[in-house]
Structure 1
């Protein structure tokens, strides 16, 4: 029998437990709200493990399908975000393991995985200055590339600790490692990132403070306007 659509109160006021209850009753709005509330965190975690935008999106999608199919197994003993994160990690790590089993090292070295396109950082407010926007985009690409170049074990820890701000204990629990290992990997990830970004910034700084485009036109126009006012 087809489930009827359940009318919800203000979605933003509902707790995760409330949303799960409505979702179990068959409300599409509840499912949508759960995804909107947790999409960014789950994508970042999947992206940190897989190192690939498209695969990370697929991991999140498959994880939601698995979670929603077995929503009756969620008992509320842990937070919904924790429960979903574990499902995403299992899916992502499973794919990485299968990838290692299928591909040998020589094949891996030839792969072009199209990495470092999107990492869902919170976007700044729109700027009226295209040069500033271009600069921020370039900086973001540098950071994303440096993150993608980290070894998988370091990248996943860095994303969970620094970007998603999970605790050491939570990160250790999700990855099945000791808290001390989380600290060690995070430290090494920071050092590797610092080294990689320093090298990139040295090159990028050579093009710092460009005086072209909108800025050049703006100053030129102002000078011309002032010259025209002279007697």
Structure 2
């Protein structure tokens, strides 16, 4: 970062109540807590935007790291015309798209082999470690949604990620991607159609594991009945 102060000025307020202006000023003063708060506040959303472009967890994480360094180096150019989140989104999006342009073909970008660090579908009845079969079924459903999202064309995938996964407004998505609001709406509609088709083709194998009752749960019930029958050795 250019012309940062040699001495830090710690932020006195609760990080949750700091405004964009507070954080930018703190970062310009080289306050470690300001940098930490900015990243913790925006990490998940920036990761998801990057991953929507590169479709790989480790590459997306690297994109976000590089984007942060680039943003912090030029933080004095942030004028507050847009929110800090929007400004960072644009930096990450440019970095991610730049990675793709450096590849000779899109196919050279490997698909993710590990689960994203942040869930994109909330499950209200999350399975515990005592219910591994249900946990496996839920992971399969989550993975199915992730694969369907990855399979979307880039233009639709970016809109879907911004609007549905990150719950950004139509206007925010349009500003981020540099397209018209009506284009956001039409692409989201098309993305949902494509997702539905993809999931319909693959949902059969997943449903075969619905309401699982095997493994540890099966053995526990069997042992309980055997005990009540007096057949336990």
Q: TM-score, normalised by structure 1?
A: 0.87
2:174 equivalent in structure 1 = 172
Following TM superposition, by how much is the alpha carbon of 1:74 offset from its aligned partner in structure 2, in angstroms?
A: 1.0
Question: 1:225 & 1:14 partners in 2: Cα distance?
Answer: 60
**In structure 2, which of residues 59, 62, 65 is the aligned counterpart of residue 61 of structure 1?**
65
Root-mean-square deviation (CA, aligned residues, Å) is 2.2
Question: 1:2 & 1:22 partners in 2: Cα distance?
Answer: 10
**In structure 1, which of residues 5, 9, 12 is the aligned counterpart of residue 8 of structure 2?**
5
Alignment CA distance shift 1:126-1:6 (3 Å)? farther
Following TM superposition, by how much is the alpha carbon of 1:116 offset from its aligned partner in structure 2, in angstroms?
A: 5.5
Is this contact kept in 1: 2:46–2:89, CA < 8 A? yes
Runs of 4+ in 1 over 4 A off after TM superposition: 122-126
Alignment CA distance shift 1:163-1:93 (3 Å)? same
List per-residue Cα deviations over 1:42-62 (Å, max 9, x = no partner).
000111112121221111111
Is this contact kept in 2: 1:116–1:148, CA < 8 A? no
Question: 1:118 & 1:61 partners in 2: Cα distance?
Answer: 19
2:230 alignment partner, SS class: helix
Q: TM-score, normalised by structure 2?
A: 0.86
Is this contact kept in 1: 2:52–2:158, CA < 8 A? yes
1:197 equivalent in structure 2 = 199
List per-residue Cα deviations over 1:119-149 (Å, max 9, x = no partner).
3226765623222221211111111111111
1:71 equivalent in structure 2 = 75
What pairs with 1:1-231 in structure 2 (closer than 5 Å)? 3-9=6-12, 10-99=14-103, 102-103=104-105, 108=107, 111=108, 113-115=110-112, 117-119=114-116, 120-121=118-119, 127=128, 128-228=130-230
| Residue segments in structure 1 that go unaligned for 5+ positions in a row | none
Question: 2:24 & 2:113 partners in 1: Cα distance?
Answer: 34
Question: 1:164 & 1:182 partners in 2: Cα distance?
Answer: 14
Alignment CA distance shift 1:209-1:126 (3 Å)? closer
The number of aligned residues is 222
Alignment CA distance shift 1:126-1:206 (3 Å)? closer
Question: 1:140 & 1:179 partners in 2: Cα distance?
Answer: 29
| Residue segments in structure 2 that go unaligned for 5+ positions in a row | none
In terms of fraction of residues, the more helix-rich structure is 1
List per-residue Cα deviations over 1:129-187 (Å, max 9, x = no partner).
22222121111111111111111111111000101111112211211222222111111
Following TM superposition, by how much is the alpha carbon of 1:64 offset from its aligned partner in structure 2, in angstroms?
A: 0.4
Is this contact kept in 2: 1:11–1:33, CA < 8 A? yes
